Chains A and B, each alone.
Chain A
């Protein structure tokens, strides 16, 4: 796999290929994204701060990040469980289940949104059993977290699964020979090996949940200060022709996305080093 430098590479087409890549990337992604920062730069600093720290906006951050965090924690736990079961055990229908794990990637978010809202609403399949016990899911922050669990579900499973598959079982044999019981082996040997992958999946699920819109708005109820997510607030501002406000909040969201991307890249580097 050692690759020689550009000089003795005989393959043709490098310059046009790279040129087109950069051209199309700039046209579709970089220039439009920079528009957001240029537009923000035209706002006054005080106006920007006022727009992104208004009480309703702060409440939307709390709802969005709080629910995303809760959903990512649930996904980290159950993601490891599902990955473990899929890699280590045999049962009927395993291949089918394995394929279905990616459903949240393939199912359009609007479809997920109306479906979850109908399941957890008062007369829904689950809502009718939960509401008499005082558990309201639809139209509350809890519902937002449920939608986020759905869309984030594949991330942890798909990052942990390959690590578990490649794990050398001799390590576990060694641990067992040295007198560790199964739980100790899991906690002391397996869990640390899986940790970079778990954290990567956790961060991916969290990042996805923070920006999510379609699957949430139907189940959220969208009450200002209570169950209004930040992406929805951007749309609300746009519909009121408050472009400056929408842009300012979008900039905050974009900066958060960039920070998350940076974290995820660092985590992936760490897990690659771990694997070697």
Chain B
């Protein structure tokens, strides 16, 4: 809020802004950089997807292997997002509403999957569940497949999307303090009532924000999933892996057609993210005024 006002104020004052030509030069340079590195790739996805016309585009999406890849991606996201959502809410309740020793260390550990290379994230599950791994022989004896099968894909995806919701909710809940919950409890509400009636309305936009980012990564993860999937067409291929296969077969139009689905997902994600950010800002400034 305040930043907006400051910017407006600065427009009029010569002392703390730049001459017009410098401003235009900087704006042009920044926009040129973004056009080159952001807009051009985004446009290229859609242009090349429609390179051979709408019919070929729709045909590529109706391919049975592509349909099954879409199904697997939806299943993966449908398992990962709720698991990490539940964890995110529980962890942020413990971390933001209570004080205990080792808290910042715990937050660092939660952030850990972000700093691990996706390839390493996949590898660790191969080392546990793969044939050479800790549980490999036992799993084989009981005819349970995890690596090169759907459970491995889900596990690797849960790992890479692990921090998204928690790291969004922890600072948000910390900034809201405990007074409202304490008031509700004093007035006789139960713990769960307090959470659903008091805490939840305060963090719902934060939850949406975290969920949408978690979902985007779950549907788009490539490196980690690539290590554990085994690339079996029609059964262990997610959408990103299907894109890779089509591209490596020089079937560029189909590869970009499938890729355009993920690009659309990215655009929807950005739109919802922007709206929830705006709502979040609003609720924070409203809460600030009430206090």
Q: Which residues of A contact B (CB under 8 A)?
A: 1, 3-6, 9-14, 17-18, 20-22, 24-25, 28-33, 35-36, 39, 78, 81-82, 84-91, 97, 99-116, 118-119, 125-126, 149-150, 153, 165-166, 169, 172-173, 176-177, 182, 185, 207, 210-214, 218, 231-232, 234-235, 238, 243, 246-247, 250, 253-254, 257-258, 260-261, 264-265
Contacts and interface: CB of A to CB of B under 8 A. Distances in A.
Contacts of A261: 108, 111-112, 115
A33 B266 contact: no
Given A103-B266, A119-B40, A13 B178 contact: no
Contact of B263 (A4, A107, A118): A107
Nearest to B3: A165
Given A81-B29, A105-B213, A261-B115, A111 B270 contact: no
A33 B45 CA distance: 36
B205 interface: no
Contacts of A35: 124, 127-128, 133-134
Contact of B11 (A5, A90, A166, A176): A90
B288 to A, nearest CB: 12
A33 B112 contact: yes
Given A32-B125, A88-B7, A108-B219, 17 more contacts: A3-B178, A17-B94, A20-B87, A28-B158, A82-B30, A90-B11, A105-B216, A107-B220, A109-B240, A112-B41, A115-B41, A211-B119, A214-B226, A231-B118, A231-B120, A234-B123, A235-B226
Interface of A is mostly: helix
Contact of B222 (A108, A126, A173, A264): A108
Contacts of A238: 123, 126, 227
B33 A166 contact: no
B232 interface: no
Contacts of B87: 20-21, 24
B48 A118 contact: yes
B222 A100 contact: no
B141 interface: no
A143 to B, nearest CB: 13
27 contacts: A17-B93, A20-B90, A20-B91, A29-B112, A35-B128, A36-B127, A84-B30, A89-B26, A99-B270, A101-B38, A105-B216, A106-B213, A106-B265, A108-B219, A108-B239, A114-B255, A115-B42, A119-B40, A150-B38, A169-B9, A173-B13, A212-B118, A213-B119, A235-B226, A247-B127, A250-B117, A261-B115
Interface of B: 3, 6-7, 9-11, 13, 15-18, 22-23, 26-27, 29-31, 33-34, 37-42, 44-45, 48, 87, 90-91, 93-95, 97-100, 106, 108-113, 115-120, 123-128, 130, 132-134, 155, 158-159, 162, 177-178, 181-182, 185-186, 191, 194, 213, 216, 219-223, 226-227, 239-241, 243-244, 247, 252, 255-256, 259, 262-263, 265-267, 269-271, 273-274
A235 B177 CA distance: 46
Contact of A243 (B6, B42, B127, B128): B127
A125 B44 contact: yes
Contacts of A6: 98-100
A210 to B, nearest CB: 7
Contacts, number: 298
B17 to A, nearest CB: 7
Contacts of A24: 87, 91
Nearest to A180: B15
